[in-house]
Structure 1
Amino acid sequence: MTQLMPKEEFWKKLQEARTPSHSMGHPFSNSWKKAELTKEDLGFWAMQQYYYIEEVPQMFALLFARLPDLDARLHMLENLMGEEIPERHPELMLNFAEACGFNRELVTTGYNNGRILPSTIAMRSWTYELATIRPLSDAAAGIMVALEGQTPTIYPHYIEAGKKMGFSNEDLKFFSVHVEADEGHEEHGLEICSRYATTYELQLQAIATVGTSARMRYRMLDGIWDATVGKNQVKAAE
């Protein structure tokens, strides 16, 4: 049996695994950073994001129930409560969608009206899979390291561009609350992942799961890009 990687090496590999498909490298994120997207583009993104995050509290509750250790549960409980208190994150996303010109009913009924993309549905399904049936080391790696670990490096650019586009601090609150909180969540995720990746094989699987989560998120942005900017580029070329 191959020996476990030392913690420092394991953490480094976990963090490096998201780099090839980091969402900040996506054309949609780059265009957002440059304030080149329209409010309609951002509203469509908000609709997809709302569908993806609407049930994150339930996902986190399911993962919380699986954790055998009290301190790991407390970390997860803190994460879960942060999604709901003092302001629900899905509600903050609806506020941003409204600031983009998308009314709440349009966003909350997006799935029923066929406006949620397959890549967005796949992203939510993947996160549910991580929370419910994957090894606990995979769950921590795929959610807290791969996904939450990206937002502190992405959302500051979204906020800066949003202000240039005329959005208020209140409109952008969804992003600002994540910048600080998710940095701590990543660290907790690394700790939890290390605890439950008790074999070299589980360590390798957790590293692979970070890469998978990053790619799933990147593919979600692919779908949004194709439905907004890409679609408009095709029309302009006709």
Structure 2
Amino acid sequence: MNAEFWIRFEERVAPFNLLQHPFYQAWSRGELTRTDLREYAAEYWHHVSAFPTYLSALHSRLPDGELRREVLRNLIEEEGVEAATARPHSDLWMDFAAGMDATRADVEARAVQPEMAALQATYRELMLNGSPVAALAALYAYESKVPAIAATKAAGLAEHYGTEGAAARYFTLHRTADVHHAAVWRGLIDAQLAIDPAAAEAALDAAEQAAKALWMALDGVERERMKANAN
């Protein structure tokens, strides 16, 4: 049952492989300007900073048990409060934005594009109102793809933009951090489907919905880039 589910899962999210998005392709080829990267950093920070609130929304409605605790563990890590030396992941992203010459004030005050607002709304809806396994599938659709994306971004920053160290820390960290997160989500999804196999379709729908929203958020970034570069 689960082997078939995971085959179908990958089929549903495959059309929205972010590494194939024109914006990330341009990043890998070194075609983005630092202004392009600054605008992207300022826009996407709003998803990164909201991610803990997605987890919190899901955590708040789960019954007592291991599933709720695993969501909390992920939330604690995202917020950077599990160790004295840890930092919120949103602050690591802000370091990237600062490396592209953005100020915190400008990033926080940014009016995001409709696609980014839709991405945030999609995740909030799935965390608050989707079944637990659907919510987990949406989280897995994102975090299972992050390691490969982060590795590609870090390589592109170093090769084409001379950017390493603190400004690239978010990406170097997520080359490995979300390997663990994704494995946890996958195990929890398997456990939930063992309890309720009929929930598989809702989980697949949620995964596709989340993957599409992530893709469309980049569509908004790419549209604004092309518009700015045409002027």
Give the TM-score of the pair, scaled to structure 1: 0.88
Q: Secondary structure at the match of 1:18?
A: helix
Answer yes or no: is 1:12 the counterpart of 2:17: no
Separation (CA, whole Å) in 2 of partners of 1:134 and 1:99: 37
Answer yes or no: is 1:219 the counterpart of 2:216: yes
What are the superposed Cα offsets for residues 79-128 of structure 1, whole Å, 9 maximum, x if unpaired?
111111211111111111111011111101113xxxx1000010011111
Separation (CA, whole Å) in 2 of partners of 1:130 and 1:35: 35
Q: Secondary structure at the match of 2:167?
A: coil
- Greater Cα offset, 66-75 or 216-225: 66-75
8 Å contact from structure 1 (residues 137, 195) kept in 2: no
In structure 1, the gaps of 5 or more residues are: 1-5
Partner of 1:173: 169
> Residues 73-222 of structure 1: matches in 2 within 5 Å?
73-85=68-80, 86-111=86-111, 116-143=112-139, 145-164=140-159, 165-197=161-193, 198-222=195-219
Letter in 2 for 1:59: Y
8 Å contact from structure 1 (residues 149, 186) kept in 2: yes
In structure 2, the gaps of 5 or more residues are: 81-85
Structure that is richer in helix per residue: 2
Q: 1:233–1:170: structure 2 CA closer, same or farther, 3 Å change rule?
A: closer
Partner of 1:3: none
RMSD: 1.6
Answer yes or no: is 1:29 the counterpart of 2:19: no
- Residue 216 of structure 1 deviates from its aligned partner by 0.7
8 Å contact from structure 2 (residues 126, 206) kept in 1: no
Partner of 1:40: 35
Separation (CA, whole Å) in 2 of partners of 1:172 and 1:37: 16
Separation (CA, whole Å) in 1 of partners of 2:73 and 2:47: 20
8 Å contact from structure 2 (residues 157, 163) kept in 1: yes
Letter in 2 for 1:136: P
Separation (CA, whole Å) in 2 of partners of 1:206 and 1:102: 38
Q: 1:69–1:187: structure 2 CA closer, same or farther, 3 Å change rule?
A: farther
Letter in 2 for 1:101: D
Aligned length: 224
Q: 1:233–1:58: structure 2 CA closer, same or farther, 3 Å change rule?
A: closer
Partner of 1:50: 45
